[in-house]
């Protein structure tokens, strides 16, 4: 039995500190937006190398408020990707704007900057790239396009705490960055949580107001806001865990290297982070032909594998009214068919990674050795392949 994720293993390592922190909050009688939240905001801003951080009650709320703070309004368009968790799209819809999807790059699996400019219209207000699986999107060209067209950039860094792009931290390159502290994320609370980071004081101020009913002072509501406040217990837990995040990230990165080594020679495409990237491996995904057979083999062997994500947002029934169809985003749709996420968490043992790959090896024996990696390394032939596959 190897679970996909083991939150109890992490808790057992830091139990005395966590229990003391939670007890301190309970004893204080101060439960929402208090000293733990303020301390966490200062420390998380420093961690992200931004001037400001505002903690909220989920990653989805962080995205929603970042969009509102940036001035996104009903009727606007926001360019984003469909290879993500639905929250990215949902937050855009909450703001009243329309999500416009561009395809992802076949090697990095993040927003393809080469497709962004063609998606810009007079209504476009913002670009919202997603740092999928812990690898940051190609931010330099995205920022360059945004600056040239006067657009705001909001990073969905919900899977990318501490990730880096050319030495810069996730959340610090765009105008605003959004994080989730959902328990399974790389930095997880004991419940829901999220944060917005930014260098711009006016954006931080707007998020502060919006998350707490638009109150400047008690019962003085200057704008129409929300109840998106973070509670003290979550911040107390996060304050403890923040001391360990670098250590845990290093553990994820060395497990990913271990997987890379174990998988070499097998017909699976592995993550290929560019030289300049610090990938933080929220998810370690491979791509393979007959993915569903491999997934079944793993699950039958008691191994918690997953798919992130099996149905892209633009093909979800809930978002049918956006008007997208199968074939609109060929790379995204192919990844949804090929992706397989292997267990990865700081406490996973190298022997367990070897056991997972052992099962995959038998899955590989079952499949014709069509090397997906070949397609991946030659995006041109891969595009032709995916086009033919659609046509047939």
Ligand X SMILES: *Cc1c(COP(=O)(O)O)cnc(C)c1O
386 binding ligand X? (CB under 6 A): no
Q: How far apart are CA 362 and CA 300, in angstroms?
A: 13
108 binding ligand X? (CB under 6 A): no
Minimum separation from the CB atom of position 158 to ligand X (A):
3
Site for ligand X in 147-186 (CB under 6 A): 156, 158-159, 180, 182
82 binding ligand X? (CB under 6 A): no
Q: Which stretch binds ligand X (CB under 6 A): 52-60, 110-118, 225-233, 366-374?
A: 52-60
Burial of 39 by CB count in 10 Å (0-12 exposed, 13-18 middle, 19+ buried)?
middle
Minimum separation from the CB atom of position 316 to ligand X (A):
14
Which residue, 111 or 158, is less far from ligand X as judged by CB?
158
Q: Strand 77-81 vs strand 176-180: parallel, antiparallel, or unpaired? A: unpaired
Q: Where are the beta strands (DSSP E) in 6-109?
A: 52-56, 77-81, 98-102
CB contact at 8 A, 240 and 17: yes
Q: How far apart are CA 149 and CA 159, in angstroms?
A: 27
273 binding ligand X? (CB under 6 A): no
Residue choice 18, 48, 130, 151 for contact with ligand X (CB under 6 A): 130
Alpha carbon of residue 54 to chain centroid: 18
Minimum separation from the CB atom of position 346 to ligand X (A):
18
The answer to whether the peptide bond before residue 309 is cis (omega within 30 degrees of 0) is yes
Which residue, 87 or 280, is less far from ligand X as judged by CB?
87
373 binding ligand X? (CB under 6 A): no
Minimum separation from the CB atom of position 363 to ligand X (A):
26
Site for ligand X in 192-211 (CB under 6 A): 192, 194
Q: How far apart are CA 347 and CA 122, in angstroms?
A: 49
Give the CA distances from residue 163 to residues 47, 131, 258, in Å, rounded to whole numbers and listed in that order: 11, 9, 19
Q: Which stretch binds ligand X (CB under 6 A): 84-92, 230-238, 321-329, 334-342?
A: 84-92
Residue choice 69, 87, 137, 294 for contact with ligand X (CB under 6 A): 87
Total length of the chain = 392
Block residue for tokens 């659609």: 390
Residues that bind ligand X (CB under 6 A): 58-60, 84-85, 87-88, 130, 156, 158-159, 180, 182, 192, 194
């Amino acid at each position: 039995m190897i679970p996909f994720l083991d939150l109890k293993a992490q808790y057992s390592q830091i139990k005395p500190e966590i229990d003391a922190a939670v007890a301190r909050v309970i004893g204080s009688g101060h439960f929402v937006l208090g000293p733990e939240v303020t301390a966490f905001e200062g420390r998380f801003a420093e961690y992200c190398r931004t001037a400001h951080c505002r903690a909220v009650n989920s990653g989805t709320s962080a995205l929603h408020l970042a969009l509102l703070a940036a001035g996104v309004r009903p009727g606007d368009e926001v360019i984003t990707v469909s290879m993500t968790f639905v929250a990215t799209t949902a937050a855009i819809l909450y703001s009243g704007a329309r999500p416009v999807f561009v395809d992802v790059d076949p090697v990095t699996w993040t927003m393809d900057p080469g497709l962004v400019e063609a998606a810009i219209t007079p209504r476009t207000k913002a670009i919202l790239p997603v740092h999928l699986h812990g690898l940051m999107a190609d931010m330099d060209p995205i920022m360059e396009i945004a600056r040239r067209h006067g657009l705001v950039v909001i990073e969905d860094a919900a899977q990318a705490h501490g990730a880096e792009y050319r030495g810069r931290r996730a959340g610090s390159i765009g105008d605003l960055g959004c994080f989730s502290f959902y328990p399974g994320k790389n930095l997880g609370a004991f419940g829901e949580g999220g944060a917005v980071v930014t260098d711009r004081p006016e954006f931080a101020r707007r998020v502060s107001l919006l998350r707490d009913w638009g109150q400047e002072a008690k019962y003085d509501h200057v704008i129409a806001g929300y109840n998106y406040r973070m509670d003290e217990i979550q911040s107390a837990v996060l304050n403890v865990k923040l001391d360990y995040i670098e250590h845990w990230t290093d553990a994820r990165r060395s497990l990913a290297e271990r997987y890379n080594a174990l998988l070499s020679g097998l017909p699976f495409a592995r993550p290929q982070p560019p030289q300049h990237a610090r990938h933080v491996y929220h998810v370690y995904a491979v791509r393979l032909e007959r993915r569903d057979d491999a997934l079944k083999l793993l699950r039958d062997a008691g191994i918690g594998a997953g798919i992130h994500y099996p149905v892209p947002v633009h093909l979800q029934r809930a978002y049918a009214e956006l008007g997208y169809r199968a074939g609109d985003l060929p790379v995204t749709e192919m990844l949804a068919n090929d992706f397989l996420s292997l267990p990865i968490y700081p406490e996973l043992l190298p022997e367990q990674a070897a056991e997972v790959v052992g099962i995959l090896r038998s899955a590989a024996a079952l499949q014709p050795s069509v090397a997906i990696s070949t397609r991946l390394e030659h995006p041109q032939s891969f595009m032709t392949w995916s086009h033919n596959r659609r046509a047939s």
